[in-house]
Structures are given as C-alpha cells and as structure tokens.
Amino acid sequence: MHNASGTWISFVDSDDELELEAYEVCAKYFGEKIDSIWFKTNVVCNFDEKLRSHTDCYINNIPLGQCYVDDLLLLKLNVYAWSKLYKKSIIEKYNITFPEGCYYEDAVFYYNFFSIAKKIYATDNFLYNYYMSKNSIMGMSRQKKENVGIYHIIILDYIFQFWKTNGLLSGRQKLFESIVERYIKLALYYAPDSEKSRCIWEGTKRLRNWDLLYESKYLQCLKEGQLVM
C-alpha cells in the first residue's frame, strides 16, 4: 500500500479476477464526498451450491447508491477488502493497514477503515470474480483445521488498538462489544473441539487486559471465567 501513488486504492486476491471495466465504472463515482466505492461480486464455487448461494447473499447484500455507513449498517455489510475501492488519503492519515501474519486480516481493515470513513457509493455492477476454494483460509475454517479459527480472536487486538488510539471507544463501546462478541463466537464455531478451551481463554484474557466495563452479558460471563465448554 505504501507504494501506491493513486488517489484511490483497491485489492485483488491472487486467485480472483477483476473485470476489465471495473475502474472505468467506478471512476464515475469518484469525488470528495465519497470515501469508498462498493461493487457486486460474481461468486464462483464448483463444489457446494448451497455455500455459493449463502456467500453470494452475504457479499452482495449492499445498499445501492450513495449511503452513510452508521454503526448498525457497519455490522451488516461484508468485510471483504476486494469488493471495494478506498480513498487512499484516509488510509494514510490514520495508518490503516492489514496485520501481517494473520488470517482474516480483511476484517481488521474493514472495521478500522469504516469506523472512520462513512460515505460510500455502491453500484449494482458485478465487477469482481471470487473463486471459492476448499484450500483457502475460509475453506480451512469450514473444515475446522487447527490453528485457523483462533485468529478470529487474535485479530481483535488490532481493532482494539486502532479504536483506542483514535478515540473511537468512547461513545461506541456497544459497537465494539458487538464486534468482539461476534468474532469470539466465530472462533468457537470454526475451532476444532481440541481448541475450544483455548479460544475461551484467549477471549477471556483479552477482555481482562482491555479493562472495559462491558454491557454484554456474554462478554461479562466470559471475562469472569463463567463461560465453559
């Protein structure tokens, strides 16, 4: 990202494809009042049609036209980095990055960028081709491989630190708690049985280290060591 010289930036996974006209289509919506441009995705999966359909609904359930991403909408939209263009000045100003050596790094970028940038424009053009694979990180998650699901909790460190540094926790702790609860539950869902106790401990440890007064009953129980498997 540091080598990018344009006003806008996008990301493409090495095993996916961006349509040739993607940037030409998105350029029509460039402007000072837009922080990010979203587009729809062709989801390709040749091994599970039900999974493909579910993924398609998750990715392409976006509000069309110009929209303000409030805290409620932030929790509903897809976190993938590649279905969007981003204003580079915001990334540079707040030093928004992908954590190195982590799985699910798109979620970190999403929750940090859109905690700051709120003005999006979404087009109904299908400009990205996402090829699902059994061997991808998400594929390994669904297979409950070891040392994969736990990263749903590890990435919370990067979100917490960014939000704390930029003063976002004050007045928006309920949103932060919703994110934390969601990702701890995702870790427990995708972890093999042999790692579920570790997930609980990693979640408990972070809740105690952050030293916040939690409103969520689930997080309260987890912090106090009352959630067991």
Instruction: Count the residues in the chain.
Output: 229
193 DSSP assignment: G
The answer for residues whose C-beta is within 8 angstroms of residue 128's C-beta and 6 or more apart is 12, 16, 17, 18, 19, 22, 39, 40, 41, 42, 82, 83
CB 113 within 8 Å of CB 91: yes
What pLDDT score does 228 carry?
62
Q: Are 48 and 134 in contact (CB under 8 A)?
A: no
Q: Of 69, 43, 63, nearest to 122 (Cα)? A: 63
Q: Which pLDDT value is given to residue 142?
A: 75
The hierarchical CATH code for the domain 8-137 is 3.90.550.10
Whole-angstrom CA distances from 48 to 41, 45, 57, 134, 139 are 17, 6, 15, 10, 11
The predicted pLDDT at position 229 comes to: 59
Tokens for 118? Answer: 């709120």
The pLDDT assigned to 47 comes to: 87
Predicted pLDDT at 141: 75
31 DSSP assignment: S
CA-CA distance, 13 to 24, in Å (whole number)?
A: 20
pTM: 0.94
Query: Could you list the pLDDT tens digit for every one of the 229 residues in the chain?
Result: 677 778 999 999 999 999 999 999 999 999 889 999 999 999 999 988 998 999 999 999 999 999 999 999 999 999 999 999 999 999 999 999 999 998 899 999 999 999 999 999 999 999 999 998 887 777 777 777 877 889 999 999 999 999 999 999 988 999 999 999 999 999 999 999 999 999 999 999 999 999 899 999 999 999 998 876 5
Place of tokens 């460039």: 30
Q: Can you give the residue ranges of every domain in the chain?
A: 8-137, 146-223
Reduce the DSSP state of residue 188 to 3 states and report it: helix
